[in-house]
């Protein structure tokens, strides 16, 4: 059977005879790579555009329609030393990108207006003390209004919309006082201009919007960067499925192109990329990614298989089902919905602050108005003073206090190998005092590893590794990986269900089941010591060796567990795996609390139980069976190797083999929460200073502008400290 | 002070040109790849988009 690669799913037709494709490329990091790739791809005839985006690590390609097969670009990039795969922008990312662009446009408009209004305001401020004529002042005020009003109407949209949404659901967020403050300041300024008064606040209102938009834009662009990076990782996983097109003809297509009802071929050693039912064939499958159970399950006609299952021994044909049909998936989805609802009740620090803040500020402004009226001021003067209070307390620093820290902290986490899925996870992560780990794929590495490599001669190990390259079996793959084998041997035959054999230097060599290699005795010896391992035997002439293969703990798991304990965080293992395996892992890591054989529902029950006792739980897990508990926990984290659903549910995703990002994330978020609180207090302190001045009625627009930019700068500079963690950086 | 009649519209007009320039650059995707653009500025020569004679 001849397999063809079919990327037509990703190719966009631009019209005018051109086709377009976006590729995610791994390892593009410098200008050198950029020009190398662009030259390399432009050299292909009929390519009309090859442009690298260094920020997103992507390449956009255009070529004359029908002239080229997109697979050729991927091959060409592989020759140049880059792994690439077609990329499809997911909706979430497209929405973030649009938002980001809209905010930048608002920021541009607001910044333009601020600069021009300032240009008009400074002569008024300096001139009103000297020789400026009232007519000139009025003229300048009118000009300011002309610029500020339309600019605020446009650039204020993000705040007005969000405030409106919050009010409609009878909530208060930070945008409510912002919107009220800006609107009142502008309205009062117009009235004052009409009355030929000395002070207007067009400059303060529009400057406030500019500063706040800076905060919003920073926040948004960080989120967009994380999304784009996560999107690339997903694309580079290059998940494909082998679809049966006709009798005996197969085609390798991206998973995104598979429809329910299609029949896919699942060969030994392949991970299933779809949910479906087996219609032909018999094999063992490893469902550890789905259930956490490391023992293999037999799959035959009628067995349901899920995305993430690893096929071990025989070829299977699978009919793709709609995702909702799977009983396991349906159950998990239901649990997930409930758990997510519970989490949305968490109130972010910013919203809690604004709930306290809005009533206090508005009450102060009202009291100021009535106070002035009581002591004999005119209604007009009292209202002007009241609005000055609103302007000076407008939460400029408060609005920046949290987003700036979040941006800086998430940038630091990004560099430490942690991606944030949700913005408020930093706050929740900082409060964690109990961490629950899943075992399989989280504390352990997702791939198998040879554990007794020290007891096997290097030369035998190398030979066995090269021999193992001929097999698709995951245990053989582990041997090949551990031996770092690159060049396969010639003339090796695979005997299904037994192993591989061949002749090397005139001697027969075999790798496979102990019985196949006549090494049962040796294998039983190893199995009696450690029943959890899988064994694979090697035979050369009369020589016998047995490799013990099992999931290995992440290299720094022990250090991370003790570091967590040193920070006063309780650590617990809750796994769906069997008791001996979990006990062994817990013992090695020095974790006294562990539970084995736990179902998804029981995992949630355990988390709920801890929650009721007021414990803030972080769940770290990767399997499909962990997804509901990831959602139920106060905060959750997944390795990048996790099942799709889990990754989408987790608040944070960490990259790479080490577990250290877990510690880094906790340290950074604790530091960040500390700084957020500090920033809020800075903003409050500023208000304590400024409000009495405003209430006393001596605030001029100059004082308002100076106070506002001063406090904003202070808060932004303080936020930069979130890059560094005070202690315990690795 | 009559000079204001010229200077103020001039200043506003220049500001507006700046704003339109910014909006145009945003629309033409110049902020999509800030890192790459920084490197392109100092690259020896732009890779040509035409097919070189092979």
Separation of alpha carbons A217 and A230, rounded Å: 20
Q: Is residue A729 predicted with pLDDT exceeding 50?
A: no
In sequence order, the 6+-apart residues with CB closer than 8 A to the CB of A558 are A588, A589, A590
Interface of B with A (CB under 8 A): 1, 4, 8, 11-12, 15-16, 18-19, 22-23, 26, 31-36, 39-40, 42-43, 47-52, 54
- Extended beta strands in A65-118, E state: 84-86
Whether residues B52 and A42 touch (CB distance < 8 A) is answered with yes
Show residues of chain B in contact with A112, CB under 8 Å. Answer: 15-16, 18-19, 22
Show residues of chain B in contact with A116, CB under 8 Å. Answer: 11-12, 15
Q: What is the pLDDT at residue A327?
A: 45
Q: Is residue A671 predicted with pLDDT exceeding 70?
A: yes
State whether residue A62 sits within 8 Å of chain B by CB: no
Q: Is residue A184 predicted with pLDDT exceeding 70?
A: yes
* Residue B34 pLDDT grade (very low, low, confident, very high; cuts 50, 70, 90): confident
Show residues of chain B in contact with A31, CB under 8 Å. Answer: 39-40, 42-43
Q: What is the pLDDT at residue A269?
A: 74
Separation of alpha carbons A689 and A709, rounded Å: 15
Q: Is residue B44 predicted with pLDDT exceeding 80?
A: no
Q: Is residue A633 predicted with pLDDT exceeding 70?
A: yes
In sequence order, the 6+-apart residues with CB closer than 8 A to the CB of A345 are none
Whether residues A46 and B51 touch (CB distance < 8 A) is answered with yes
Q: Is there a contact between A493 and A511 (Cβ–Cβ < 8 Å)? A: no
Q: What is the pLDDT at residue A180?
A: 87
Show residues of chain B in contact with A38, CB under 8 Å. Answer: 47
Of the listed ranges A98-107, A335-344, A577-586, A696-705, the least confidently predicted one is A335-344
Q: What is the pLDDT at residue A158?
A: 92
Whether residues B22 and A108 touch (CB distance < 8 A) is answered with yes
Sequence-ordered alpha helix ranges (H) in chain B: 4-27, 34-42
pLDDT digits (tens, 9 = 90+) for A20-50: 888 888 877 777 888 888 888 888 888 888 8
Query: Environment class of residue A389 by beta-carbon count within 10 Å: exposed (0-12), middle (13-18) or buried (19+)?
Result: buried
pLDDT digits (tens, 9 = 90+) for A656-670: 888 889 999 999 999
Structure tokens at A295: 């023992």
Q: What is the pLDDT at residue A187?
A: 92
* Residue A260 pLDDT grade (very low, low, confident, very high; cuts 50, 70, 90): confident
> Shortest CA distance to A421 belongs to which of A719, A27, A96, A55?
A96
In sequence order, the 6+-apart residues with CB closer than 8 A to the CB of A368 are A382, A385, A386, A389, A694, A695
The interface predicted TM-score (ipTM) is 0.80
* CA distance to A551, A590, A622, A652, A681, per residue, from A562 (Å): 21, 8, 21, 21, 34
Task: Compute the Cα dihedral for A70, A73, A76, A77 and give only its sign.
Answer: negative
Q: Which of B4, B11, B19, B30 is most worth mutating to test chain A (most A CB atoms within 10 A of its CB)?
A: B19
Sequence-ordered alpha helix ranges (H) in A469-540: 474-482, 520-529
Instruction: Give SS3 for A51.
Output: strand
Between A365 and A339, name the one with better pLDDT: A365
Q: What is the pLDDT at residue A341?
A: 57
Q: What is the pLDDT at residue A473?
A: 77
Report the residue from B15, B23, B43 with minimal CB separation from A115.
B15
A636-641 mean pLDDT = 85
Q: What is the pLDDT at residue A237?
A: 66
Separation of alpha carbons A138 and A153, rounded Å: 22
Between A346 and A603, name the one with better pLDDT: A603
DSSP A271: B
- A438 in active site: yes
**Which residue from B minimizes the CA distance to A61?**
B49
A453-457 mean pLDDT = 82
What is the nearest CA distance from B44 to chain A, expressed in angstroms?
10
> Shortest CA distance to A290 belongs to which of A319, A235, A329?
A329
Instruction: Select, from the ranges A139-148, A176-185, A682-691, the one with the highest average predicted confidence (pLDDT).
Output: A139-148
DSSP A363: H
The rounded mean pLDDT for chain A is 82
Q: What is the pLDDT at residue A281?
A: 85
Show residues of chain A in contact with B8, CB under 8 Å. Answer: 143
Report residue A472: phi and psi, to 5°: -95, -10
State whether residue A66 sits within 8 Å of chain B by CB: no
Residue tagged active-site, from A203, A438, A622, A667: A438
Separation of alpha carbons A436 and A418, rounded Å: 18
Instruction: Select, from the ranges A79-93, A311-325, B38-52, the one with the highest average predicted confidence (pLDDT).
Output: A79-93
Whether residues B15 and A108 touch (CB distance < 8 A) is answered with no
Q: Is residue A435 predicted with pLDDT exceeding 90?
A: yes
Instruction: Give SS3 for A384.
Output: helix
Q: Is residue A1 predicted with pLDDT exceeding 50?
A: no
Alpha carbon A378 to its chain centroid, in Å, reads 56
pLDDT digits (tens, 9 = 90+) for A341-384: 555 555 677 777 777 877 888 888 899 999 999 998 888 888 88
* Residue B54 pLDDT grade (very low, low, confident, very high; cuts 50, 70, 90): very low
Report the residue from B16, B42, B47 with minimal CB separation from A39.
B47
What is the nearest CA distance from B31 to chain A, expressed in angstroms?
9
Q: Is residue A322 predicted with pLDDT exceeding 60?
A: no
DSSP A173: -
CB pairs under 8 A between A and B: 72
* Residue A112 pLDDT grade (very low, low, confident, very high; cuts 50, 70, 90): very high
In percent, the amount of chain A with pLDDT more than 90 equals 12
What is the nearest CA distance from A100 to chain B, expressed in angstroms?
10
Report the residue from B22, B23, B39 with minimal CB separation from A34.
B39
Q: Is residue A730 predicted with pLDDT exceeding 50?
A: no
pLDDT digits (tens, 9 = 90+) for A488-547: 777 787 777 788 888 888 888 888 888 888 888 888 888 887 777 778 888 888 888 888
**Which residue from B minimizes the CA distance to A28?**
B36
Show residues of chain A in contact with B43, CB under 8 Å. Answer: 31, 34-35
Separation of alpha carbons A391 and A380, rounded Å: 17
Report the residue from A48, A112, A147 with minimal CB separation from B18.
A112
Separation of alpha carbons A627 and A294, rounded Å: 18
> Shortest CA distance to A708 belongs to which of A676, A686, A688, A692?
A686
Q: What is the pLDDT at residue A689?
A: 84
Q: Is residue A651 predicted with pLDDT exceeding 70?
A: yes
Category of A494 on φ-ψ map: left (φ > 0), alpha (ψ -120 to 50) or beta: beta
Task: Compute the Cα dihedral for A375, A381, A387, A390 and give only its sign.
Answer: negative
* Residue A324 pLDDT grade (very low, low, confident, very high; cuts 50, 70, 90): very low
**Could you count the other beta carbons within 10 Å of the beta carbon of residue A90?**
14
Chain A, 92 to 151: residues with Cβ < 8 Å from chain B are 101, 104-105, 108-109, 112, 115-116, 119, 136, 139, 143, 147
């Amino acid at each position: 059977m001849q397999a063809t690669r079919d990327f037509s799913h990703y190719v966009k037709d631009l019209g005018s005879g051109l086709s377009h494709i976006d590729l995610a490329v791994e390892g593009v990091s410098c200008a050198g790579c950029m020009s190398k790739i662009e030259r390399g791809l432009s050299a292909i005839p009929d390519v009309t555009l090859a442009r690298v985006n260094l920020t997103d690590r992507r390449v956009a390609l255009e070529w004359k329609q029908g002239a080229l097969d997109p697979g050729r670009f991927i091959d060409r990039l592989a020759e140049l030393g880059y792994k690439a795969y077609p990329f499809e922008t997911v909706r979430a990312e497209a929405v973030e990108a649009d938002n980001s662009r809209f905010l930048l446009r608002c920021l541009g408009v607001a910044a333009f207006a601020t600069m021009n209004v300032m240009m008009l305001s400074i002569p008024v401020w300096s001139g009103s003390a000297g020789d400026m004529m009232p007519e000139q002042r009025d003229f300048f005020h009118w000009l300011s209004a002309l610029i500020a009003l339309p600019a605020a109407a446009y650039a204020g949209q993000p705040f007005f919309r969000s405030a409106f949404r919050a009010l409609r659901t009878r909530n208060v967020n930070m945008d409510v006082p912002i919107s009220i403050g800006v609107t009142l300041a502008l309205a009062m300024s117009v009235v004052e201009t009409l009355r030929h008064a000395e002070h207007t606040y067009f400059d303060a209102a529009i400057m406030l919007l500019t500063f706040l938009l800076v905060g919003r834009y920073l926040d948004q662009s960080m989120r967009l960067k994380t999304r784009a990076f996560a999107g690339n990782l997903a694309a580079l996983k290059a998940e494909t499925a082998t679809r049966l097109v006709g009798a005996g003809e197969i085609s390798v297509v991206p998973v995104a192109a598979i429809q329910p009802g299609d029949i896919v071929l699942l060969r030994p050693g392949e991970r299933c990329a779809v949910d479906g039912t087996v219609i032909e064939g018999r094999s063992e499958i490893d469902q550890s990614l789905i259930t956490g159970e490391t023992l293999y399950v037999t799959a035959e006609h009628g067995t349901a298989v899920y995305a993430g299952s690893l096929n071990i021994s025989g070829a299977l044909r699978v009919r793709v089902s709609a995702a909702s049909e799977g009983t396991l998936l349906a159950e998990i989805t239901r649990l997930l919905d409930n758990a997510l609802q519970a989490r949305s009740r968490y109130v972010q620090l910013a919203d809690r602050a604004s709930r306290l803040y809005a009533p206090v500020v508005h009450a102060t402004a009202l009291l100021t108005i009535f106070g002035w009226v009581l002591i004999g001021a005119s209604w007009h003067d009292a209202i002007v003073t009241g609005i000055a209070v609103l302007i000076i307390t407008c939460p400029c620093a408060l609005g920046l206090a949290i987003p700036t820290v979040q941006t800086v902290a998430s940038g630091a986490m990004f560099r430490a190998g942690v991606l944030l899925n949700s913005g408020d996870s930093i706050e929740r992560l900082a409060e964690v005092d109990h961490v629950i780990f899943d075992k399989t794929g989280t504390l352990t590495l997702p791939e198998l590893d040879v554990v007794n490599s020290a007891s096997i001669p290097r030369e035998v190990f190398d030979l066995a590794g090269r021999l193992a390259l001929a097999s698709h079996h995951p245990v053989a793959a582990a041997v090949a990986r551990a031996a770092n084998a690159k060049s396969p041997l010639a003339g090796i035959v695979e005997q299904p269900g037994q192993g591989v054999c061949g002749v090397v230097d005139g001697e027969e060599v075999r790798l496979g089941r102990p019985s196949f290699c006549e090494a049962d005795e040796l294998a039983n010896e190893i199995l009696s010591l450690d029943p959890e391992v899988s064994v694979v035997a090697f035979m050369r002439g009369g020589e016998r060796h047995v490799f013990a293969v099992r999931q290995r703990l992440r290299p720094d798991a022990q250090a991370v567990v003790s570091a967590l304990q040193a920070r006063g965080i309780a650590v617990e293992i809750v796994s769906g795996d069997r008791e001996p395996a979990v006990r062994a892992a817990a013992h090695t890591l020095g974790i006294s609390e562990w539970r084995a054989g736990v179902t998804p529902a029981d995992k949630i029950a355990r988390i709920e139980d801890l929650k009721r006792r007021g414990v803030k739980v972080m769940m770290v897990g990767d399997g499909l069976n962990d997804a509901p508990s990831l959602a139920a926990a106060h905060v959750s984290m997944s390795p990048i190797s996790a099942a799709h659903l889990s990754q989408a549910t987790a608040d944070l995703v960490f990259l790479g083999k080490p577990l250290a990002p877990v510690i880094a994330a906790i340290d950074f978020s604790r530091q960040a929460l500390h700084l957020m609180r500090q920033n809020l207090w800075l903003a409050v302190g500023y208000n304590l200073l400024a409000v009495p001045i405003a209430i006393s009625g001596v605030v001029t627009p100059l004082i308002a502008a100076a106070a506002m930019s001063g406090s904003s700068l202070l808060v932004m500079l303080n936020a930069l400290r979130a890059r560094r963690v005070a202690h315990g950086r690795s | 002070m009559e000079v204001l009649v010229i200077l103020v519209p001039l200043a506003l007009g220049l500001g507006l040109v700046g704003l339109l320039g910014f909006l145009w650059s945003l629309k033409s995707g110049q902020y999509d790849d800030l890192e790459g653009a920084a490197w392109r500025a100092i690259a020896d020569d732009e890779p040509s988009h035409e097919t070189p004679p092979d």
